[in-house]
Amino acid sequence: MLPRETVPAARFVILHNKGPQGLMRASDVFGSRGNIVLAPANGRVLFNGCPDNELLPGCQIRGFLTRPDGSEIGFVLAHLVPGTFVGPGQTFRKGQTIGKMALWEQRPFSTHVHWAFNRPGEGMPPPANMSVLAAFNTLGPPPPRTLHKKAVPHFAAEESVQLAEEDRLVVRESEHAEVPALEEE
């Protein structure tokens, strides 16, 4: 699956945080305030934090996703609306809504959620140490959309194909290289 498939109403995706081999280690999925974010796999949340400042809007959650082979990869998902996300100690299922996108008040047209991952056995980002597209590629097929059509009435299949192509083509700098670890953790 692709990063944009976690946000049914996504507008576009930017990969960023270039690693040693030139692979991008983070993905920003752009959308609008309140867009739902779907779990790309079964998983669990261990930490959350809510900096909610001009550089880091909203809240972030960190935990592990379970891949089809049973291994776990650490993740961070950032820029969620307070009170909408799965909290520490909770588990979730693939396709479940795990949070809603927070408005970036200072940069409303850059409203997005940030995904990044670590290799199995290497804890949670930040810092992220795995290609974000490689990580998504190991999570199996995207979650089914049928449950969410109502939430995204304008969604069209052709648009999905086009945006998936943009996922591969659009690789440029984002506003942040890395979402930093939070002090309260």
> Pick from 104, 125, 126: which is nearest to 113 by CA?
104
Residue whose CB is less far from Zn ion, 29 or 42: 29
Residue whose CB is less far from Zn ion, 26 or 37: 26
Coil vs helix vs strand at 164:
helix
What does the alpha-carbon distance between residue 164 and residue 45 come to, in Å, rounded to a whole number? 27
Choice from 2, 15, 24, 26 touching Zn ion (CB under 5 A): 26
Q: By CB under 5 A, which span of 2-10, 37-45, 123-131, 166-174 interacts with Zn ion?
A: 166-174
Verify binding: residue 28, Zn ion, rule CB under 5 A: yes
Verify binding: residue 15, Zn ion, rule CB under 5 A: no
Residue 114, number of CB atoms within 10 A of its CB: 27
Residue 4, number of CB atoms within 10 A of its CB: 23
What does the alpha-carbon distance between residue 136 and residue 154 come to, in Å, rounded to a whole number? 25
Residue whose CB is less far from Zn ion, 93 or 168: 168
Residue whose CB is less far from Zn ion, 28 or 167: 28
Contact criterion met (CB below 8 Å) for 119 and 73: yes
What does the alpha-carbon distance between residue 8 and residue 157 come to, in Å, rounded to a whole number? 11
Q: By CB under 5 A, which span of 29-37, 66-74, 113-121, 153-161 interacts with Zn ion?
A: 113-121
Choice from 9, 74, 114, 163 touching Zn ion (CB under 5 A): 114
Verify binding: residue 100, Zn ion, rule CB under 5 A: no
- Residues in contact with Zn ion by the rule CB under 5 A: 26, 28, 114, 174
